[in-house]
Amino acid sequence: MIITIIGKIIFDNNWYILEIKENEDFIKMIKSKLIIKYDENNYELTNKLHISIIKNESASLKQQKFGKSFIGEYISFDISIDDLVIFDTNGRHIWIELENKRLCMIREFFGLPCVKINNEYKIKFHLTLAKFIVPNNNDIINESDKSNIVRITQTCYFDLNNLYQYV
Give yes or no for a contact between 107 and 70, defined as CB atoms under 8 angstroms apart.
no
Give yes or no for a contact between 122 and 164, defined as CB atoms under 8 angstroms apart.
yes
pLDDT of residue 52: 92
pLDDT of residue 50: 92
Q: Where are the alpha helices (DSSP H) in the chain?
A: 24-37, 101-109, 143-146
**pTM of the model as a whole:** 0.84
Q: What is the pLDDT along the chain (167 residues), one digit of tens a residue?
A: 888 999 999 999 989 999 999 888 888 888 888 888 888 888 898 888 999 999 888 888 898 999 999 999 999 988 887 778 888 877 788 888 999 999 999 999 999 989 999 999 999 999 989 988 887 765 555 444 667 788 788 778 888 878 888 88
Closest-CA residue to 130 (of 98, 85, 94, 96): 94
Dihedral angle sign, alpha carbons of residues 132, 77, 124, 97: positive
What are the boundaries of each domain within the chain?
A: 2-166
